[in-house]
Amino acid sequence: MDISIWCVFAAFLLIYMTRLPVVLATHRQEGYVELANPREQQARLKGVGSRAQAAHQNTIEAFAPFAAAIWTAYYGGADPAIRDALAMTFVAARMLYVAAYLADLNPWRTLIWTVGMLCVVGLFLAPLY
């Protein structure tokens, strides 16, 4: 399996890794984690907990376009070196994005998000070159 496919797996794992700060913040702020209706409880989070939840949601939202872009680049015959470089850059950007979101580092968070999304666009366009 090549690097870009492993990057899809890494992006998938990142969805679940971003849950940990949400659960920790929920437990810290509320004293327990509501299993019956966690979304209602998480909507009450403040500060880093709220940012952790938003970072988690954004990680979910970013996964599908990235996976589709990898599929397009892979089956469209994009140069493997370009495909892999864009995929690794996307995963690195997503990891930095989550860290910047948790640390409340604006406008860096937006800049890092843009880098990740430009990688997705590049992956969609890579078969054309």
Residue-wise pLDDT for 14-53, tens only, equals 999 999 999 999 999 999 999 899 899 999 999 999 999 9
Longest dimension (CA), the chain: 54
Q: Cβ(90)–Cβ(7) under 8 Å?
A: yes
Residue-wise pLDDT for 82-106, tens only, equals 999 999 999 999 999 999 999 999 9
Confidence of residue 129 (pLDDT cuts 50, 70, 90): confident
Residue-wise pLDDT for 61-82, tens only, equals 999 999 999 999 999 999 999 9
The residue ranges of every structural domain in the chain are 3-128
3-128 maps to CATH 1.20.120.550? yes
At 1 the pLDDT is: 75
Which amino acid would we find at residue 125?
Answer: L
Residue-wise pLDDT for 2-14, tens only, equals 999 999 999 999 9
Q: At what angle do helices 80-102 and 3-17 cross, to 10 degrees?
A: 10
Which stretches of the chain are DSSP H helices?
Answer: 3-17, 19-30, 38-42, 48-75, 80-102, 108-125
| Nearest-angstrom CA–CA distance, 87 and 83 | 6
